[in-house]
Amino acid sequence: MTENSAIPVHVAVYDTYADWEAGFATAHINRPDWQREPGRYVVRTVAATADPIRTSGGMRVLPDLTLDELSPAESAMLILPGNDLFPTPAYQPFVAKAREFLEADVPVAAICGATGGLALAGLLDNRPHTSNALEFLQSLGYGGSAFYRDELAVTDGALITGKAQAPVEFAREILAKLEVYEPAVLDSWYKLYGAKDPAGFFELNTVTN
């Protein structure tokens, strides 16, 4: 499969983007090793404007496209990393795009502060989800407490949510939803990166594409 025929997975980028929170997911979506269909997906960045953004770690990112150019029909998933903008008007375009994706039943994966942005918009009121802490979301005045799950990452249909301290578990849910790996391969992947068990490395290196 060529890059031109690959299905885009879109990662939202904005100033204060938390570099570490989506890194496991994006690296392994883009890396063909161990995948069921190497090259099936390609990672693309999307921002509110075409201007460069500066991540929390100081990295400069030039977006591939803007939100107004992004259609759920042309995307496999929208990933929303954590950020400090989520309670401000600057984040509203990303929340609106997430709503559009969910209404089209195209997956959205949000972690850390991005879950706060979804909570403020009422998008977590009726869906099982997680976040950094229940108290964090309650402080925003959201109405979804009954659906909160104190887990590292939660998948409910098209919505994936994760805690800031669990980028590996967040990535595992994303990789599973996209069916990037066979289930047994994903188990070995998590054994290596999540459980820190070197046996996972040797298991992965027995996989042939």
155: enclosing H helix or E strand: strand 153-156
Phi-psi domain of 137 (left: phi exceeds 0; alpha: psi -120 through 50; beta: other): alpha
- The predicted model scores a pTM of 0.96
Burial 62-72 (b: 16+ CB within 10 A, else e): ebbeebeebeb
CA atoms of 135 and 133, how far apart (whole Å): 5
Q: What is the mean pLDDT of residues 33-50?
A: 97
- Enumerate the β-bridge partners of residue 159: 108, 156
Strand partners, 11: 45, 79
Active-site residue identified among 112, 158, 178, 185: 112
Question: Rounded to whole angstroms, how far apart are CA atoms 14 and 165?
Answer: 20
- Consecutive H or E run containing 116: helix 113-120
Q: Is 11 an annotated catalytic residue? A: no
Kindly report, residue by residue over 160-199, the tens digit of the pLDDT.
999 999 999 999 999 999 999 999 999 999 999 999 999 9
CATH number for the domain whose boundaries are 3-204: 3.40.50.880
- As a whole number of angstroms, the distance between CA 153 and CA 131 comes to 8
Report pLDDT for 5.
85
pLDDT tens digits for range 111-163? 999 999 999 999 999 999 999 999 999 999 999 999 999 999 999 999 999 99
